[in-house]
Amino acid sequence: MPTSWRQIIPTLFTLCAMLCGFFSILLALEGGPHYLLAAQFIMLAMILDGVDGKMARWLKGTSNFGAELDTYVDLTAFGLAPAILIYQVALQRHDDWRIAMTALVVLSGVIRLARFKVKDPLRGEGGYRGLPITVSAGWVALFVLLSETRTFGDYFRLGQGPVGVIFLIGVLVMIVLQVSNVQYPKPTKVTAMFIPSIILVALLFVRNMNIAPKAALVIMVAGLFYLVLGPLYMQIVCARAAKAGAGGQALLNETD
């Protein structure tokens, strides 16, 4: 348990993220007009999940308890909540596929989080092995938001048409990448990237729904860039680190 205010403050952010995931599940189960808010809560949980880690580092309040609690938040808000949204809004006429898809989302998320906990003692500070679970959760939430706002007509309707197929293919690709060995950088580590993310997620709650869908599209495009270019960025970083290490070793050899 947290023992000082330095640990309590980030823990409160973590608990708020957990509640956002829980509320998203409840809203999704309510159905119909509540899907939009369920999707928004997933995105809000994503921001709170990033803020708690930054807050813990700024306040020097990191703890094993906070790290353990964060895993449960990830499972609830970014594993279970998106799976339930998929179950509620997609493949309505294909129950077998709907159950299989949601089961795969949950299983992939659980495996991803368990491996992260066991194999990465730095908790992503040096990059992730496998796509972060938040990316697929964001893909689901943003598609649902665009589907429910209808700003772009029926173009983003998830239960029908080619876009619905693209949505499901995207989900499958991401749940495979989650359990892969492909390396990805930690996006919340860079403050210059994290602050615009906070602003864009805040815009998802603007009542003028012409603003929210546009913000959702921007976030979705940024996520796709991360999906495709993240591994390339990590290759460049690793190559530079290896080169620097080789240079340092050569210098040591010259001084011996």
- Is 255 contained in some domain? no
In the predicted model, what is the mean pLDDT of residues 160-180? 86
pLDDT digits (tens, 9 = 90+) for 2-13: 668 788 888 999
CB 134 within 8 A of CB 116: no
Residue 251 scores a pLDDT above 50: no
- Is 241 contained in some domain? no
- Is 246 contained in some domain? no
- Is 137 contained in some domain? yes
- Is 187 contained in some domain? yes
- Is 110 contained in some domain? yes
pLDDT digits (tens, 9 = 90+) for 212-248: 888 999 999 999 999 999 999 889 988 888 777 655 5
Confidence band, pLDDT 50/70/90 cuts, at residue 77: very high
C-alpha closest to that of 140 among 18, 19, 28, 8: 28
Mean of pLDDT over the chain: 84
In the predicted model, what is the mean pLDDT of residues 165-194? 85
pLDDT of residue 190: 65
| The total number of structural domains that make up the chain | 1
- Is 249 contained in some domain? no
Q: Which residue has the tokens 């680190």?
A: 241
List the domain range (segments joined by +) for residue 101: 5-230
How far from 250 is each of 236, 238, 253, 255, CA to CA, in Å? 21, 18, 5, 9
pLDDT of residue 55: 85
CATH number at residue 200: 1.20.120
- Is 248 contained in some domain? no
Alpha helices in 120-210 (DSSP H): 133-149, 161-178, 191-203
